[in-house]
Chains A and B, each alone.
Chain A
Amino acid sequence: MTEAEYKKLEEESVHLKYFGIPKLLPHLKPYRRMIIFMMLIGAFSTLGDVIMPLFQRYSINHYIAENTIDTLPFFIILYIAVLLIKVFCGYNSSLCCSRLEMYIGRDLKQKSFDHVQTLSFSYFNQNSVGYIHSRIMSDSGRIGGLVSWEMMDAVYNTTYFVGAIAVMLSINPLLTLFVVLVIPLVVIISAVLKKKLSWYQRVMRHLNSKITGSINEGITGAKTMKTLVCEDKMISEYQDETEDMKRHSVKEAGFHGLLWGSLATASYVALAAVLWYGGHITLEQLLEIGTLSIFMSYAMGIMGPIQWVVSSISNLITVQVNIERITKLLETESDVADSAEITEKYGDMFHPKKENWEDIRGDIEFEDVSFKYPDGEEYVLNHFNLKIPFGTNVAIVGETGAGKSTLVNLVCRFFEPTQGRVLIDGRDARERSQLWLHSHIGYVLQTPHLFSGTIRDNLRYGAPDATDEEIMEALRIVSADKIIAKNEAGLDTQVGEGGDLLSTGEKQLISFARAIIADPRILVLDEATSSIDTFTEQLIQNAITTVIAGRTSFVIAHRLSTIREADIILVVKNGTIIESGTHAELMKMKGYYHSLYTTQYEREKMNALLGAREDA
């Protein structure tokens, strides 16, 4: 590892000092009864553990010392009773604890998932899917697990410690002192070593992800590596990484060994103390042998709880990170939110009041709209005005990454204008709820997104009540009925995760049908760039024409035919709209559109001439 890597890890660990447990309290509140029950019953069960050695003491002091077995049947019954009560309580408290763990995890998952559904698109632009996913899925689980079991352990260990000390004190206070003397030693040793250990564990996690990264690179970059003949260099670098890992891991094991070794030593040091002083007072007839023997059990038994305190503190420090991340997510407020009055009238996302919803016509108007992205610095729209009456087909063209989706984002109210208004049917979009607008919009993505489930589930996505007849009709319109006919299971065909069991062309056709079934007044279509075979290409072209008819549509267009047929073309470059008009008008201008169009024309002509084939 380099100096810089060490430094970065150190900075991260300094960051962990802050305590976030209080932020968790609201999430624990619904379970406060369960927690109290768990703690009580857990403490009760622990008392059983404290009492058990006393049976040994009694059998030595009474039966063996006095050479009698008078009360033995009663002894056995009492022993079994204590054992069963202890186990019964222990079982129930650990059940409670697992429930608590899973409930906290479940609630946090659900709350964060629900919350993410309400967040605006700027959140998704700023955070990767992987990042959000691991907040929802893994942080929640870690918090649930750590918090509940730490609570349980706290009860167990405190009760055991206090109980054992109490029993010992009641028998012989001075001998107890000898046992207790070892405690500070154990605390100091564990605290120092735990700190070292967690540092090394962090370093190892870092190295492990480095190694995984290298393997990944070696495999995905295999072709490049071979042609550049740099295999040996990569191998030797990889070996440095594995060597580094080994070195740190062995060091970590050293501290681990020190911790376990010194804890074992400490318990027997306590034993030595008991033997020495206890032996003395036994010889002086001040202590029975049975009592001495249980002192030895307690002396070794309380080392566990002491060590727990230390490891529990370090666990709580590590879980801080998870708590901080998830609370940050829950505290993130959406940039796009309905006002209180709107929610009052139209309902919120989870409880829509459909009876108050007006019908939509589909006129859209940009009125003096200026816009910049929340994470951007420059305005991408400046006092933009455009009237789009119902039924208009708007094509948006430009190079990849030019910012073609900005207008679409505004129409869909994924973002709101920084200045000015977007009017739907003459009224500001903010005067109606997001759900109202969204339930009237259809969206066909460039890379069609299907959800795992059956074809039917996917087609019904926008209209849960659609009948099979309506579904088949829509499939016929886009000529996708063949996909259904091809598969034995028909509409019940599973599409796989992300629709991966279907081909790209099939996915596209299904997503067109999905949009038709939802029958939205406004349609957004992000045309695919990837070329598919000529036949499917033609099907999709036809589907596009069908699907945009009779709707207000925005097409992020790549195909010339789609572009030429549009009522208005908006040309985007570097995020801003630089030209607009019909195809004929724009061609006459001989501007940027002209050159874009020409390039595309060449490409399509070439395709036609040479016949695009699927790449080998």
Chain B
Amino acid sequence: MEDKTPKVKKHVIFRLCRKFAKNAIGFFLLGILAAMLGSVIELCFPKIISFTVDTVLDGSGTVPSFLERFVSAEYLRNNLWVIAVVVLILALLLGLMKYLKQVWDRRASETLVQTMRNTLYEHITHLPFSWFVKNQTGDIIQRCTSDVGTIQSFLADQLANLLSISINILFSIFFVMSVNIKMSIITFCTLPIILLYTSLFSKKISKGFRLCDENEGKLSAICQENLTGVRVVRAFGREVYEVEKFKKQNQFYTQCWINLMRLMAMFWNFGDIVMGLQCLVILVSGVLLSVHGELSTGEFIAAVSYNSMLVWPVHHLGRIITEMNKAGISFVRVGEILDAEPEKDVPDAKECDPSGDIEFKNVSFSYDGENKVLDDISFKIKNGSTLGIIGMTGSGKSTLVQLLCRLYNVDEGCITIAGTNIADVKASSLRKSIGIVLQEPYLFSRTIKDNIQITDTDGGNEETLAKSASIACLTDTIDTFANGYDTMVGERGVTLSGGQKQRVAIARTLYQGSPIVIFDDSLSAVDAETDAKIRRAINTELKGATVIIIAHRISTLMAADNIIVLDSGKIIEHGTHDELVKAGGLYSKINDIQTKGGDQND
């Protein structure tokens, strides 16, 4: 996503439109139909007025042949209410059409946006983890929110308006022509002029908008930096400087907007002059034609009304066309996400059988293709046993367990569970078999209860919930909250400390009840006493489960059946605690520091 700056490709837009518009197209068409009917009705009114004025009031005109059979001018003259009723009925129909247009247009655009949002979200959740690492969170979110918004307004407002305005213009042309050909020619002469200057102005205006946006960004950044750096500002006593800096940019930004608004005022008022002059031309030529007897009074009124009905839509047309360009870029940005390859299992992937031993065979892995994070790692974890892993930051411990969960795929070698290569297993089945408590646990913004039960698809089990929480030493913490398990956490709820988060994550993993459980340095923020308590509980409760514990504290690891010491992606020592201590290597040195260190004074 970050490598190529995309060019707007037409086929991308068409492909995406087709994909998203599938369910919406019907409503789109209905919306256009309503717009069409609406504009026909609206265009009928000047005709009725013209008819009323000429035939009924003036008596100069004739009743059209199709009406002659039903009604005479004389009858109408005595019963003017008939015309009023016709107008009323049309008015109601017009109201109905406007209503239907709104509802159908909205239904179409919302259906479309919903499809777009759902497709994007679903696609993203199925992308491989490496994709999330490669791409910036902010950028992805922007593509899913503001780019989607741009596309929505393109399809819902601009495209729909473009269509209904075009229809409006086409019908108007037809109606004006039906009144008087000469008048219609005069009307159309000015249309290209309006379109031309509108699009010229629009280009300048959108440039102005960009400039304003940029400067608003700068002003906003000054403010943001001042607020986040308030301590520095105060401690150095530089408030005046800050105020001056803000004032300068504030002034500049204000001027940018004023310039832009002057441009816009010029645009609208220029439009007013053009339209005013056009009306004058129509008035004068109408008068001249009437005086020569080529135009009746009613037709004159109708021509003037049609002219005014036509000018505004044309004015809007130019703007819409210019603004539509913006959507192209958003289409490409959204398209790039959808083009990313989702995670896939091999064609006939098996279910995972977690009852066997786990084995790493000559596994190598690197994130960037150059520096090996894991180098030729081989070891075996007997089913139901506990493995401890120790090593410094960056030695590859976390990578090891991420490979086991297939968050990344191995470069060389293979990992097997019960003799089956995990690459041949369904990812979902593999991950369901493995419960992992991550180093920096992520809690979703919902209640504690919902967080712990997040893997539960049917209702949730109170008993398991209480048990998991108690093993994770969470019960006391939860009791301190007024709402207990129903306390909201995350962005919109209470802020939990690092240790509390870790314990919720542990409870969440235990609730899952997976046969393989991994603790990736997940007790680091918990104090030593609680750490010990949780480990004791886990040892008794997780009998039969295969456990992998990654930790820095020897005391956390010493009970493991087997311990490996990782350094620079290689296993440098392995064995039980006693064996390793006896061996006198790195592990035993760490052990010395942690057991005796405090007594020494450097």
Contacts and interface: CB of A to CB of B under 8 A. Distances in A.
Contact of A133 (B83, B223, B261, B593): B223
A254 B258 contact: no
Interface in A437-451: 438-439, 441-443, 445, 449, 451
Given A235-B121, A350-B239, A449-B229, A609 B589 contact: yes
Contacts of B239: 117-118, 349-350, 435
A225 interface: yes
A606 interface: yes
Interface residues of B, number: 150
A217 B121 CA distance: 11
Interface stretch (B202-210, B230-238, B468-476): B230-238
A598 interface: yes
A498 interface: yes
B374 to A, nearest CB: 10
Interface string A409-441: 000101000000000000000000011001101
Interface in B68-115: 77, 80-81, 83-85, 87-88, 90-92, 94-103, 105-107, 110-111, 113-114
Interface stretch (B10-18, B271-279, B355-363): B271-279
B392 A452 contact: no
A439 B221 CA distance: 25
A502 B126 CA distance: 35
B188 to A, nearest CB: 21
A223 B265 contact: no
Given A461-B236, A464-B241, A606-B593, A105 B394 contact: no
A319 B134 CA distance: 42
Nearest to B396: A616
Contacts of B287: 59, 63-64, 69, 72
A63 B290 contact: yes
Given A90-B272, A610-B567, A212 B145 contact: yes
Nearest to A449: B229
A99 B254 CA distance: 9
B250 A106 contact: yes
A289 B253 CA distance: 54
Interface in B124-140: 124-126, 129, 132, 137, 140
B454 interface: yes
Contacts of B258: 98-99, 102
A242 B20 CA distance: 14
A499 to B, nearest CB: 10
A56 B593 contact: no
A598 B598 contact: yes
Contact of A264 (B94, B262, B268, B438): B94
A146 interface: no
B29 to A, nearest CB: 17
B256 to A, nearest CB: 9
A257 B125 contact: no
Contacts of A615: 393-394
Contact of A137 (B49, B223, B269): B223
A124 B262 CA distance: 39
Contacts, number: 405
B382 interface: no
Interface string A266-277: 011101110110
Contacts of B457: 232-233
Most buried by A among B48, B90, B107, B117: B117
Interface stretch (B315-323, B428-436, B574-582): B428-436
B584 to A, nearest CB: 14
A44 to B, nearest CB: 14
A181 interface: no
Interface residues of A, number: 149
A97 to B, nearest CB: 8
Interface in A71-125: 72, 75-76, 79-80, 83-84, 86-87, 90-91, 94-95, 98-99, 101-103, 105-106, 109-110, 113-114, 116-118, 121, 124
Closest 4 CB pairs of A and B: A257-B102, A253-B106, A443-B235, A268-B91
Interface of B: 45, 48-49, 52-53, 56-58, 77, 80-81, 83-85, 87-88, 90-92, 94-103, 105-107, 110-111, 113-114, 117-118, 121-122, 124-126, 129, 132, 137, 140-141, 144-145, 216, 219-221, 223-243, 246-247, 250-251, 253-254, 257-258, 261-262, 264-266, 268-269, 272-273, 276-277, 279-280, 283-284, 286-288, 290-291, 297, 300-301, 304, 367, 373, 391-396, 399, 405, 407, 428, 431-432, 434, 436, 438, 441-442, 444-445, 454-455, 457, 490-492, 497, 508, 512, 552, 567-568, 586, 589-590, 593-594, 597-598, 600-602
Given A232-B457, A272-B84, 18 more contacts: A56-B301, A83-B272, A95-B261, A113-B226, A121-B230, A137-B220, A228-B431, A231-B126, A235-B122, A253-B107, A256-B102, A264-B95, A265-B92, A269-B88, A462-B236, A498-B228, A602-B597, A602-B598
Interface of A: 52, 55-56, 59-60, 63-65, 67-69, 72, 75-76, 79-80, 83-84, 86-87, 90-91, 94-95, 98-99, 101-103, 105-106, 109-110, 113-114, 116-118, 121, 124, 129, 132-133, 136-137, 211-235, 238-239, 242-243, 245-246, 249-250, 252-254, 256-258, 260-262, 264-265, 267-269, 271-273, 275-276, 279-280, 282-283, 289, 292-293, 296, 349-350, 352, 401, 412, 414, 434-435, 438-439, 441-443, 445, 449, 451-452, 461-462, 464, 497-498, 518, 524, 531, 560, 587, 594-595, 597-598, 601-602, 605-607, 609-616
